[in-house]
Amino acid sequence: MTRISALSNTLLWVTTLVALAVTIFPFYWMLNTSLKPPVEVFASPPTFVSAHWSLGAYETIFRTRPVGRYFVNSVIVAVGATALSVSLSALCAYGLTRFFPRGATPFVMFLLFTKMLPETLLIIPYFRLMSDLGLLNTYLALIIAYSSFALPFSVWMLIGFFRSIPREIDEAATMDGASILQTFRKVVLPLARPGLVAVALFTFLIAWNSYVWALVLTTDSSMFVMSVGVANMVGEYRVQWNELMAAAVVAALPVMVLYAFLERHLVDAITAGAVKG
């Protein structure tokens, strides 16, 4: 790394802090609103810190709405989609890099193509498909939908990752008597762990934040996920802003915590996977 002068350093820091302020200000405001009493939400001038901050809104939403249930549903769907996405994309990327090296390019083009379809057009055919399969109001329908959205980027990233693992390792394992599947599972996969973590984080994010699919594919309120639960709190004839923001905070928090812990893996994975094309 090059050394930089004190002036440059100060300039860098100032820019960073300004950018940081703009980046996280909305979250601060979300938190601020969720802690205010409802009357103060419209106070003019708006209050940045309030003597009346309380966890009342959080208490209310947990008491009056099955937020716990929504949370569990979100977790189940997100974890399920992650598991499916990681396993399928790992299998696929390994297969491509080891057995069809020349097929990787057209396959990636195919993956990209699948991402080009506008989401609105998918709503009705998806519903019909899931309805015909009898999968309405099931976790599986959402798991399938979310995995399909995450697969293109996951496969593509893992292709880069597996390519950076030399074939000699495979060959050494084969010569030791391992079958193809054993080579994959016991030798190569552990080496690709950062990539798998990245794919997992990426899929989890897609599954956790998605709204339209859960909206359309579930009608039973015991199956609602967080995003749907939050949206349902916007009445037209009365909106409790602080409760709405509290629900949004609860919806956003798990992903942030997860990312905070696993962020290092994400950067490592992208370094190895996407960069070393």
Instruction: Tell me which residues in 81-120 interact with another protein (CB under 8 A).
Output: 88-89, 91-92, 94-105, 107-108, 110-120
DSSP code for 51: T
> Would you say 53 or 139 has its CB closer to another protein?
139
**Contacting another protein within 167-186 (CB under 8 A):** 180-181, 184
Least distance to another protein from the beta carbon of 51, Å? 19
Q: Which of 70, 250, 264, 265 is the binder for another protein (CB under 8 A)?
A: 264
Binding flags for another protein, 194-223, as an x/- string (CB under 8 A): -----------x--xxxx---xx--xxxxx
**68 near another protein, judged by CB under 8 A:** no
Q: Is 72 a binder of another protein (CB under 8 A)?
A: no
Question: Is residue 239 involved in binding another protein (CB under 8 A)?
Answer: yes
123 contacts another protein (rule: CB under 8 A): yes
Are the beta carbons of 246 and 41 closer than 8 angstroms? no
Helix (H, G, I), strand (E, B) or coil at 248: helix
Identify which of residues 51 and 181 has a Cβ nearer to another protein in the complex: 181
Looking up tokens 């820019």 gives 15
Q: Per-residue x/- mask for another protein, residues 128 to 157, rule CB under 8 A?
A: xx-xx--xxxxxx--xxx-xx--xxx-x--
Please, are residues 225 and 73 in contact by the beta-carbon 8 Å criterion?
yes
Q: Tell me the window of 49-57, 185-193, 255-263 that interacts with another protein (CB under 8 A).
A: 255-263
Residue 195 CB contacts under 8 Å (≥ 6 apart), including other chains: 157, 158, 161, 162, 269, 272, 273
Per DSSP, the three-state class of 218 is: coil
Residue 189 is a binding residue for another protein (CB under 8 A): no
Query: Hey, which residues between 24 and 63 contact another protein (CB under 8 A)?
Result: 24-27, 29-30, 33, 38-39, 42, 44-46
Cis-peptide, bond into residue 45, ω within 30° of zero: yes
Which 8-state DSSP code applies to residue 273? I
- Residue 35 or 155: which CB sits closer to another protein? 155
Neighbours of 211 (CB within 10 A): 13
**Can you tell me the distance from the alpha carbon of 172 to that of 29, in angstroms, rounded to the nearest whole number?**
56
- Choosing from 58, 163, 196, 199, the residue that interacts with another protein (CB under 8 A) is 163
Q: How far apart are CA 184 and CA 249, in angstroms?
A: 41
Instruction: Tell me the CA distances in angstroms from 57 to 130, 183, 234, 249, one per residue in order.
Output: 37, 53, 15, 11
Could you say which of 63, 125, 175, 190 contacts another protein (CB under 8 A)?
Answer: 125
What residue type is 132 in one-letter code?
D
At closest approach, how far in Å is the CB of 187 from another protein?
15
Q: Name the 3-class secondary structure at 59.
A: helix
- Over its C-alpha atoms, the chain yields an Rg (Å, rounded) of 23
Q: Is 250 in the site for another protein (CB under 8 A)?
A: no
CB 212 within 8 A of CB 198: no
Q: Which is nearer to another protein, 20 or 55 (CB)?
A: 20
**Among the listed residues 35, 150, 159, 250, the single contact to another protein using CB under 8 A:** 159
Minimum CB–partner distance for residue 219 and another protein (Å):
5
